[in-house]
Amino acid sequence: MTDFDSFRRDWLGHLSAERRLSPKTLEAYARDLGQFAAFLTEHLGGAPTLADIAGLKPVDLRAFLGRRRRDGVGNRTLMRQLAALRSFARFGERNGKLGAAAFAATRGPRLGKSLPRPLEPASARAVTQAGTRAGEEREPWILARDAAVLGLLYGSGLRISEALSLARAQAPRSAGETLTVIGKGSKTRMVPVLPVVVEAIAEYLRLCPWRLPPEGPLFVGAKGGPLSARIIQLAVEGLRGALGLPSSATPHSLRHSFATHLLGRGGDLRAIQELLGHASLSTTQIYTRIDSARLMATYDAAHPRARGA
């Protein structure tokens, strides 16, 4: 074990305890640094030490990014990996172990500015209704469970991880209640729950064959254990075919739909930011671009002179 390995553990501990990054982000950053270490072992001819990393130049970092690109990694993943390496270098600089200049000087790939792709309101409602899947050979309680989860994504703007982390004791009992959600970076926010979603959760609880202790998960799998996000993703994949939805229709697109539809009906941008749990208003402002794009598309399609003479 080199000093790099022990320092990597210190860095991850710092990210968890002080930066309070989410478990998924920690997992991704740990994997990114592990891939970098594997590259350096080949690139330098041996397991890297902190002294090796301190001596790296931007050309070495570009070689790593180039290797990852040849492995088929996309621009967004490359940007995240570079962000992980910069974080590690900054931590090393603060502790007098590394310099961060080479990492800061390395430019990442350009990212295309793609807009989120929400569903149409009617499609979003259909995805969240258990009756849409009535013809499937699945137990009624599972269909009710999936509808309740998807209802929270569209009705309250939750991330799928946030919905699946809810405890049984948090289940709303009546209309007008709110949920306390722990989001990215362990940040807490309160979100309202629509009456129709309260009813969907109640129906799931009525049909669920498993005992759900208050401290246990609200949503469980077919064998009574914690529900996997992949199960909900597969459910939406099935609904894409049944409803003729595009491949962009995913559980997360329901969260995009929540924000876009609220904004389209006059919702306040700051309020939507709080409901989504965005740290920065600029992150939420992307939904104004979607609304503007839809407005112009409607104009081009409907106005008699929009397309010129």
Encode pLDDT of 76-121 as tens digits: 889 999 999 999 999 999 999 898 899 999 888 776 666 778 899 9
**Nearest-angstrom CA–CA distance, 9 and 52:** 18
Hunting for tokens 């990393």 — which residue is that? 53
Confidence check: pLDDT of 289 > 90: no
* The token pair that represents 201 in the structure block: 């959760």
**Nearest-angstrom CA–CA distance, 183 and 193:** 16
User: What pLDDT is attached to residue 309?
Assistant: 39
* The token pair that represents 276 in the structure block: 């989504």
Hunting for tokens 């001819």 — which residue is that? 45
User: What pLDDT is attached to residue 73?
Assistant: 86
Confidence check: pLDDT of 136 > 80: yes
- If phi over 0 gives left and psi between -120 and 50 gives alpha, with beta otherwise, what is residue 19? alpha
Do the Cβ atoms of 106 and 58 come closer than 8 Å? Answer: yes
pLDDT, tens only, 196-220 = 999 999 999 999 999 999 999 999 9
pTM, to two decimals: 0.64
pLDDT, tens only, 226-263 = 999 999 999 999 999 889 999 889 999 999 999 889 88
Confidence check: pLDDT of 301 > 90: no
Confidence check: pLDDT of 293 > 90: no
Percent of residues, the chain, with pLDDT higher than 90: 60
DSSP codes of every residue in 77-107: HHHHHHHHHHHHHHHHHHTTS---HHHHHSP
**Nearest-angstrom CA–CA distance, 261 and 258:** 6
* The token pair that represents 16 in the structure block: 């968890």
Q: Which residues are catalytic?
A: 159, 184, 252, 255, 278, 287
Confidence check: pLDDT of 158 > 60: yes
Name the helix (H) or strand (E) containing 182.
strand 178-182
